[in-house]
């Protein structure tokens, strides 16, 4: 009899795990169970449909269900798992169905932690996650004049960039002091913040806590914050995202200090024949050497692929992460963690410097400013983190720096890096190298 | 109540400890950043709850005074499980050679 693999969860991790399991060993009997109607779509693209940069939610689907069926995958949508019997190796659903397995892969993802404030159940208070719900919200947006986005996390920033494009007066409410203040630095976020205020007319309410919502006839009319009330037709709650681990814990799977599942570098849990991947697991940070919980699809997908390959008998090792990140359109921001804010929070010794450069030759019309900040270890001069603010090329620089950090690159090496010089796409002086030279000077100053 | 895939499990003591101290240390760092880069942002809203009134006295001084190598070991001791011995980083390999 073919070995049976059951994957619970149909997000990036679940889809990646199921497809890689079947591609690694075609003889496997692979079943994917998801409580939602769809799989294999990009929820990260939802704000861009709201902003009409992407024409339709349908464009966010990567593959149709037939694609997976043709591959030999048994796909079961709208199935809620009630419990797992690890001794008998059977998954039980709420409808009484049973799915026997030899190997189980948990990709249960994350859930919003709904804020405990009055009025959160009013019509017009919404969360972004499921694409079908997002389609309904999309239809309602034409009647929305004023919107509030709660929390300046990456999804929140994407929303405040998108909603003004629909002519919606957009307010951002955040207890922090600047955009992405959990991990990014204020000096590096300021250009994006200024752009959103000056050009998109976003109203920023920083240092403001969410106190609740008020409505009329069950419909939202006002958002209540510690700094005042805001007239609101729709409120988008970018609430804290928590790993969904209740099912895992019920079968004895260990969770770590972030609340997510503990896995080794092969995505194996402590329970034999049970793997886990995606937003429900902990991933090791390469520099801090502590586990972190990452929600982004890029990690979910690659971890899912690792789990699927190993579950099918392969041998793939997942690497510690250095978290390249980036967002924005007209003004782009990004980096590789850690930031100066995180260095201060963790107590990591560092020296930092900034450098200003341009993305193309100064006489070429496409050139834009590029601000770089680098952090290094004062003893070894190893790069610890980077941030970028500017025009085109932030993403590529963030990816490059994350890899450079992984390879233990020093400031001296970056200061003498080679770079492309081609008037339309690259300036004579690469901004990263300029910043690295400034960092060398800062290190010299520190020694004096 | 049936267990579904929808809900996070309630946090353990260690998970709560990490969540609270991390949020607190991040806010301390944010305040320091605003001192270093004045005008680049606003002061974060004060954190609510008794624990945040005592952390500045019972936790922060010790955390700040602990040297980084010891702090790093303590973090690993508290937060890293034996299964999480992932591949060594390049600088760790060099050190071991």
Token representation of residue B69: 């190598």
What local confidence, expressed as pLDDT, does residue B7 receive?
61
Q: How far apart are CA A215 and CA A288, in angstroms?
A: 45
Q: Tell me which H or E stretch contains A228.
A: strand A228-231
Percent of chain A with pLDDT over 70: 100
Rg, chain A, Cα only:
23
All residues of chain B having their beta carbon less than 8 Å from the beta carbon of residue A344 are 28-29, 32-33
Contacts of A334 (CB under 8 A, 6+ apart): A324, A325, A326, A327, A328, A387, A388, A394, A395, A397, A398
Band the pLDDT of B95: cuts 50, 70, 90: very low
Q: Tell me which H or E stretch contains A289.
A: none
Band the pLDDT of B93: cuts 50, 70, 90: low
Nearest CA in chain A to B33: A341
List the single residue in B6, B22, B48 with the smallest CB-CB distance to A244: B6
Distance of CA A248 to the CA centre of its chain: 22
Nearest CA in chain B to A268: B83
Percent of chain A with pLDDT over 90: 93
Question: Residue A358 forms beta bridges with which residues?
Answer: A369
Q: How far apart are CA A217 and CA A400, in angstroms?
A: 53
Q: Does residue B74 belong to the interface with chain A, where contact is any CB pair within 8 Å?
A: no
Token representation of residue A405: 């950090």
Q: Does residue A353 belong to the interface with chain B, where contact is any CB pair within 8 Å?
A: no
List the single residue in A246, A262, A406 with the smallest CB-CB distance to B8: A246
Token representation of residue A138: 């999309």
Q: Does residue B54 belong to the interface with chain A, where contact is any CB pair within 8 Å?
A: no
Write phi, then psi, for A264 (nearest 5 degrees).
-90, -175
All residues of chain A having their beta carbon less than 8 Å from the beta carbon of residue B32 are 344
Band the pLDDT of A64: cuts 50, 70, 90: confident
Of A263, A268, A298, which Cα lies nearest the Cα of A283? A263
pLDDT surpasses 60 at A440: yes
Task: Give the least confident one: A3-7, A181-185, A398-402, B79-83.
Answer: B79-83
Cβ–Cβ under 8 Å, residues A258 and A264? no
Q: How far apart are CA A179 and CA A189, in angstroms?
A: 6
Band the pLDDT of B6: cuts 50, 70, 90: low
Contacts of A1 (CB under 8 A, 6+ apart): none
Q: What is the pLDDT of residues A321-339, one digit of tens each?
A: 999 999 987 899 999 999 9
Q: What is the pLDDT of residues A394-405, one digit of tens each?
A: 999 999 999 999
pLDDT surpasses 90 at B5: no
Mean pLDDT of chain A: 95
Cβ–Cβ under 8 Å, residues A426 and A419? yes
pLDDT surpasses 60 at A306: yes
Band the pLDDT of A131: cuts 50, 70, 90: very high
Q: How far apart are CA A64 and CA A242, in angstroms?
A: 29
Of A160, A158, A167, A144, which Cα lies nearest the Cα of A205? A160
All residues of chain A having their beta carbon less than 8 Å from the beta carbon of residue B19 are 259
Q: For residue A428, with 0-12 CB atoms within 10 Å meaning exposed, 13-18 middle and 19 or more buried, which class applies?
A: exposed
Q: What is the ipTM of this complex?
A: 0.92
User: pTM score, two decimals?
Assistant: 0.94
Distance from CA of A368 to the nearest CA of B (A): 21
């Amino acid at each position: 009899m073919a070995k049976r693999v059951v994957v619970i969860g149909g997000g990036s991790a679940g889809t990646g795990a199921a497809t890689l399991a079947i591609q690694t060993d075609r003889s496997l009997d692979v079943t994917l169970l998801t409580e939602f109607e769809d799989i294999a779509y990009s929820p990260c693209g939802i704000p861009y449909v709201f902003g009409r940069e992407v024409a339709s939610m349908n464009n966010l689907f990567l593959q149709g269900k037939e694609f997976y069926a043709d591959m030999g995958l048994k796909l079961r949508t709208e199935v809620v798992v009630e419990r797992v019997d690890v001794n008998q190796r059977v998954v039980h659903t709420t409808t009484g169905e049973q799915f026997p397995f030899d190997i189980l892969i948990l990709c249960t993802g994350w859930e919003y932690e709904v804020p405990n404030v009055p009025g959160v159940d009013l019509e017009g208070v919404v969360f972004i996650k499921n694409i079908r719900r997002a389609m309904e919200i999309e239809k309602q947006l034409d009647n929305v004049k004023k919107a509030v986005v709660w929390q300046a996390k990456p999804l929140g920033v994407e929303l405040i960039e998108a909603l003004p494009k629909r002519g919606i007066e957009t307010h951002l409410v955040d207890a922090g002091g600047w955009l992405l203040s959990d991990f990014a630095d204020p000096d590096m976020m300021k250009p994006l913040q200024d752009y959103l205020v000056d050009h998109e007319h976003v109203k920023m309410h920083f240092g403001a806590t969410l106190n609740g919502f008020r409505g009329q006839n069950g419909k939202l009319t006002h958002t209540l914050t510690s700094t005042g009330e805001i007239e609101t037709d729709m409120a988008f709650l970018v609430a804290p995202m928590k790993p969904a681990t209740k099912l895992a814990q019920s079968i004895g799977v260990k969770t770590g200090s972030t609340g997510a599942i503990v896995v080794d570098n092969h995505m194996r849990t402590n329970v034999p024949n049970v793997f886990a991947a995606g937003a429900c697991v902990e991933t090791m940070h390469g520099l801090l050497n502590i586990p972190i919980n990452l929600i982004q699809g890029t990690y979910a997908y690659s971890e899912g692929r690792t789990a699927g390959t190993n579950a099918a008998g392969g041998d793939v090792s997942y690497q510690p992460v250095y978290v390249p990140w980036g967002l924005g359109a007209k003004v782009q921001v990004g980096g590789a963690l850690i930031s100066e804010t995180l260095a201060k929070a963790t107590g990591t010794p560092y020296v930092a410097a900034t450098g200003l450069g341009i993305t193309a030759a100064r006489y070429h019309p496409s050139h834009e400013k590029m601000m770089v900040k680098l952090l290094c270890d004062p003893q070894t001069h190893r790069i610890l983190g980077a941030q970028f603010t500017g025009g085109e090329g932030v993403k590529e620089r963030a990816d490059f720096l994350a890899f450079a950090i992984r390879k233990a690159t020093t400031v001296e090496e970056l200061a003498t890096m080679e770079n492309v010089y081609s008037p339309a796409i690259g300036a004579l002086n690469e901004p990263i190298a300029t910043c690295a030279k400034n960092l060398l000077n800062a290190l010299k100053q520190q020694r004096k | 109540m049936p267990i579904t895939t929808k809900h996070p499990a309630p946090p353990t003591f260690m998970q709560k400890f990490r969540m609270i101290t991390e949020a607190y240390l991040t806010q301390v760092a944010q305040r320091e950043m605003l001192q270093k880069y004045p005008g680049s942002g606003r002061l974060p809203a004060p954190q609510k709850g008794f624990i945040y009134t005592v952390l500045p006295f019972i936790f922060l001084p010790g955390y700040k005074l602990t040297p980084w190598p010891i702090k790093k070991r303590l973090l690993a001791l508290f937060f890293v499980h034996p299964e999480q011995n992932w591949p060594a980083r390049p600088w760790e390999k060099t050190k071991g050679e």
